[in-house]
Amino acid sequence: MHFIIRNRNDNLPSDPKIRKAASDAWDLAQSLPLKDAAKERRKILRELRFQQLARREDLTTKSVEQMRAIRRNMERRINEL
């Protein structure tokens, strides 16, 4: 299974499921205004806290990569202004 990473350096994890989640989060953040992208990141952070309480490492890793992808996207967009 291969994923095409669009228009960015490939610094995503190698696990295909986590990689796809991070790639989808990047695309979602790209399509939203910065304010809404930050809101989406906070929503994932809230879910991450519950997953850590439940001690689910598989979900935690996925959420961390999604948040990182959104943050990198927001940083890139802010720096382009």
Could you report the per-residue pLDDT of 20-73, keeping only the tens digit for each? 888 888 888 999 899 999 999 999 899 888 887 888 777 788 888 999 999 999
Per-residue pLDDT for 78 more than 80? yes
Domain extent at residue 55: 16-80
**8 A C-beta contact, residue 44 and residue 67:** yes
> Would you say residue 51 lies in a domain?
yes
Single-letter residue type at 8: R
Per-residue pLDDT for 10 more than 80? no
> Would you say residue 21 lies in a domain?
yes
> Would you say residue 31 lies in a domain?
yes
Per-residue pLDDT for 3 more than 70? no
**8 A C-beta contact, residue 29 and residue 69:** yes
> Would you say residue 24 lies in a domain?
yes
> Would you say residue 59 lies in a domain?
yes
Q: How many domains does the chain have?
A: 1
Per-residue pLDDT for 1 more than 60? no
> Would you say residue 57 lies in a domain?
yes
Quote the pLDDT of residue 53.
Answer: 81
User: Would you state the structure tokens that stand for residue 4, as one six-digit string?
Assistant: 């095409």
